């Protein structure tokens, strides 16, 4: 899969479905602690929304209706926690981020998960002043979603040294 991946978290005691809008390993920051292999500065490539839809529906079908949980997840962690925009760079650099959020909303509705699990955006916060991102954040709020901002420093100097 290009855009969708499962994460089994022992700490969170459940499964997170990750959405990676940066399969090119490009990010607008280059954090000193980042573990993405071959990270480059840049933005997300064009996203094939139909492929994203197909991958997400296939994984959710396996998680919700199939045997993914029994095959892949320890007994005490067999629950779906969230769908999270994370991956190999800043998700909001993707011009398709708002449309990708709608793909997630449609899939959650299809599998009767809307309102049952969280939609999470893990972000460095750098793009949140842009109108298209603000609109997507409003939609995320309608979906009872959460934004997890990273905070590397309280000073501009510290931020520059880290990112």
Q: What is the DSSP string of 53-70?
A: HHHHHHHHIIIIISSHHH
Contact (Cβ atoms closer than 8 angstroms) between residue 12 and residue 64: no
What is residue 134's predicted lDDT score, i.e. its pLDDT? 97
Residues pairing with 27 in the sheet? 41
Check residue 34 and give its pLDDT.
60
Look at residue 43 in the predicted model and tell me its pLDDT: 87
pLDDT of residue 156: 77
Of 36, 31, 25, 28, residue with least CA distance to 2: 25
Least confident of 16-25, 111-120, 149-158: 149-158
Q: What is the pLDDT of residues 42-95, one digit of tens each?
A: 889 999 999 999 999 999 999 999 999 999 999 989 999 999 999 898 999 999
C-alpha dist (Å) from residue 4 to 49, 78, 159, 163: 12, 19, 30, 26
What are the tens digits of pLDDT across the range 10-49? Answer: 777 899 999 999 998 876 666 666 676 787 788 899 999 9
Q: Model pTM?
A: 0.89
Instruction: Write down the residue that tokens 């479905």 correspond to.
Output: 17
User: pLDDT value at position 65?
Assistant: 96
Residue 64 is predicted with a pLDDT of: 96
Question: What pLDDT was estimated at residue 83?
Answer: 97
Per-residue pLDDT at 158 exceeds 80 = no
Q: What average pLDDT score do residues 95-116 get?
A: 97
């Amino acid at each position: 899969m290009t855009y969708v991946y499962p994460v089994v978290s022992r700490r969170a005691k459940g499964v997170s479905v990750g959405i990676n809008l940066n399969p090119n390993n490009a990010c607008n920051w280059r954090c000193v602690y980042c573990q993405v292999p071959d990270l480059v500065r840049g933005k997300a490539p064009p996203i094939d929304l139909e492929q994203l839809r197909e991958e997400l529906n296939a994984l959710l079908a396996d998680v919700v209706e199939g045997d993914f949980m029994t095959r892949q997840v320890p007994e005490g962690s067999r629950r779906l926690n969230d769908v999270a925009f994370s991956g190999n760079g800043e998700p909001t650099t993707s011009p398709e981020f708002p449309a990708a959020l709608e793909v997630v909303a449609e899939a959650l509705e299809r599998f009767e998960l809307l309102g049952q699990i969280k939609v999470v955006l893990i972000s460095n916060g750098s793009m949140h002043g842009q109108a298209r991102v603000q609109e997507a954040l409003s939609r995320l709020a309608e979906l009872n979603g959460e934004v997890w901002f990273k905070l590397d420093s309280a000073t501009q100097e510290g931020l520059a040294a880290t990112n």
